Amino acid sequence: MPNSVKKILQKKRNKEKAIFLLRFFKTQKGQYGEGDVFWGITVPEQRKIAQQFKHISLSQIQELLNDQIHECRLTGLLILIEKYNSAEEKEQEKIFKLYLKNYQNINNWDLVDLSAPAIVGNYLLDKDRKTLYDLAKSNNLWKKRIAIVSTYAFIKNKDLEDTFKIAKILLNDSHDLIQKAVGWMLREVGKRNKEKEVEFLKKYALKMPRMMLRYSIEKFSGPEREKFLSLT
């Protein structure tokens, strides 16, 4: 069955888009996506395929997650989300554990961003969140991005404290993908509770990297942005 998914994806290859994506997702030597292989297939196309194959087993999804082709891994994650959304709690726990076991295969920012809130965040909505803190404190780029981006599920439920706490852990991270992710989540907090975001920024704007700050204040008015940027 994974071969069937891969064959359908292969038929949708677009060489021009693939060349663009290789640059866009930083796949050259020494870059964060080094060695990743793209077929140039859009996310909407992959979502349609995921719908077709949402019945496949977790072991078959694992085969897709192990694949060197980026779109195979992403389609595998999209199928996993489909399964999670229709699963009972015990099955959701299995999916959650499978996801975390595969962090080394969820190895680009789009893979994390499209899946972490839907699986990790949603699973932990009513559970202990220690897992996220362990991920945030790791040395692995993708674990750290999973940790902060997963909190998007909490933010949507106006549950904001874990975003702030994990943001503090990652406050001095040197990688731009973490700085952008933290800034993005703080910006999302501000859409629900600007007062809370401003309170956090007043405490930590001086300590955070400029890129993180810029992302977090993107929706502020011009004068508000200038006020915070002048602090750094």
The CA distance from 209 to 171, in Å, is 8
Q: For the chain, which residues make up each domain, given as ranges?
A: 1-127, 128-232
Cβ pair 39, 13 in contact under 8 A = yes
The CA distance from 7 to 10, in Å, is 5
**Percentage, residues of the chain above pLDDT 70:** 99
Output the pLDDT for position 54: 94
| pLDDT band with cut points at 50, 70 and 90 for residue 212 | very high
Q: What is the pLDDT of residues 87-117, one digit of tens each?
A: 999 999 999 999 999 999 999 999 999 999 9
CATH of domain 128-232: 1.25.10.90
Give the helix, strand, coil percentages of the chain, each rounded to 5.
70, 0, 30
Q: What is the pLDDT of residues 153-207, one digit of tens each?
A: 999 999 999 999 999 999 999 999 999 999 999 999 999 999 999 999 999 999 9
- Which among 95, 16, 19, 23 has a CA at the least distance from the CA of 54? 95
Return mean pLDDT, the chain: 96
Query: For 130-140, what is the mean pLDDT?
Result: 98
| pLDDT band with cut points at 50, 70 and 90 for residue 3 | confident
Classified by CATH at the fold level, domain 1-127 comes out as Leucine-rich Repeat Variant (1.25.10)
Output the pLDDT for position 29: 92
- Does the pLDDT of residue 35 top 90, yes or no? yes
